[in-house]
Amino acid sequence: MAKIVSLAKVKKAATRKADRMEANANAAKFGRSKAARKLDEAAAEKAARDLEAHRREPD
């Protein structure tokens, strides 16, 4: 005998699975490692410091 299932639950589970697969694909495509983010952050901080160091003092 077949098991009775709620079609709404099956549909929700399928939607969740599809969403999870899409999220994993986006993470692989657009995601960056923690080291890459830290490197970019450090480069931006250095650029800001260098720019600030070249400012002239007000007279």
| Residue pLDDT, tens place only, 8-46 | 999 999 999 999 999 999 998 888 888 998 999 999 999
Q: Looking at residue 21, what is its pLDDT? A: 97
Coil, strand or helix: which one is 12? helix
The predicted pLDDT at position 1 comes to 79
Angle at 33 between CA 40 and CA 37, to 5 degrees: 20
**What is the spatial distance between Cα 25 and Cα 13, in angstroms, rounded to a whole number?**
18
Residue 57: pLDDT band with limits 50, 70, 90: confident
| 59: pLDDT strictly greater than 80 | no
Residue 20 is encoded by which pair of tokens?
A: 């999870």
Torsion of CA 7, 13, 19, 21, to 10 degrees: -130
The Cα–Cα gap between 55 and 51 comes to 7
Read off the pTM. 0.51
